Amino acid sequence: MFCLTLNIICLILFFQMDHRYKPKVSFLIPVLNEEKTIAKSLDSILNIDYPNEKKEILLALGKSSDNTDVIIEKYKSKYPTIVRTFENHSGNTSIGRNICIDNATGEFLMNYSAHAIAERNLLKILLGKHQSANINLASVGCANISPEKQNFVAETASTVFSSFIGGKNVFVQNAEFSEERFTDHISFALYKKNPVIEVGMFDPEFWCGQDAELDLRLIQKGYKILFTPETRVYHYKRSTLKALFKQMYRYGVARAKMCKKHPKTLKPFHLIGSSFIVGIILIILLMVFRFIPIWIPTFMLLLYVAVSMISTFTVGKKLLGIIASPIFAFIIHIGYGLGFIRGLFNRKL
- Residue 218 sits in a domain whose CATH number is 3.90.550.10
d(CA 113, CA 29): 5
Give the residues across from 227 on adjacent strands.
141, 181
Residues 264 and 202 in one domain: no
Check whether 169 has a pLDDT greater than 80: no
Residue 177's pLDDT is 67
Which pLDDT band, with edges at 50, 70 and 90, does 14 fall under? very low
Together in a domain, 95 and 144: yes
Residue 179's pLDDT band (cuts 50, 70, 90):
confident
Same domain, 192 and 281: no
Residue 79 has pLDDT above 60, yes or no: yes
Q: What is the mean pLDDT of residues 52-80?
A: 96
Q: What is the DSSP letter of 238?
A: P
Can you say how many angstroms the Cα of residue 6 is from the centroid of all Cα atoms in its chain? 48
In the listed set 209, 237, 265, which residue is the last one of a domain according to the structure? 237
Region class of 304: left (phi > 0), else alpha (psi between -120 and 50), else beta:
alpha
pLDDT bucket at 7, cuts 50 / 70 / 90: low
pLDDT band at 174 (very low <50, low <70, confident <90, very high): low
Decide if 132 is inside a domain.
yes
- pLDDT band of residue 1 (cuts 50, 70, 90) is low
Average pLDDT over residues 266-274: 82
**pLDDT tens per residue across span 276-327:** 899 999 999 988 888 889 899 899 999 999 999 999 998 887 899 999 999 9
Regarding whether 228 and 303 lie in a shared domain, the answer is no
What percent of the chain is predicted at pLDDT more than 90? Answer: 62
pLDDT at 16: 45
Least confident of 27-36, 56-65, 292-301: 292-301
What is the reported pLDDT for 41? 96
Kindly state whether residue 328 falls inside one of the protein's structural domains. Answer: yes
For β-strands 55-61 and 83-87, DSSP reports them as: parallel
Alpha-carbon distance of 100 to 88, in angstroms, equals 10
- The pLDDT of residue 143 is above 90: no
Same domain? 142 vs 115: yes
Count of other CB atoms within 10 angstroms of residue 237: 24
Please report whether residue 226 resides in a domain.
yes
Residues 303 and 201 in one domain: no
Q: Which residue blocks in the chain are alpha helix, DSSP H?
A: 2-20, 38-46, 68-78, 93-103, 122-132, 152-161, 193-198, 210-220, 241-261, 272-288, 295-313, 319-344
**Domain boundaries, position 232:** 10-151+167-237
> Do 191 and 339 share a structural domain?
no
pLDDT at residue 165 tops 90: no
- Report pLDDT digits (tens) over 184-227: 988 899 999 999 999 999 999 888 889 999 999 999 999 999 99
User: What element of type H or E holds 224?
Assistant: strand 224-235
**Mean pLDDT over the full length of the chain:** 88
Number of domains in the chain: 2
> Which region among 34-38, 142-146, 209-213 has the lowest average model confidence (pLDDT)?
142-146
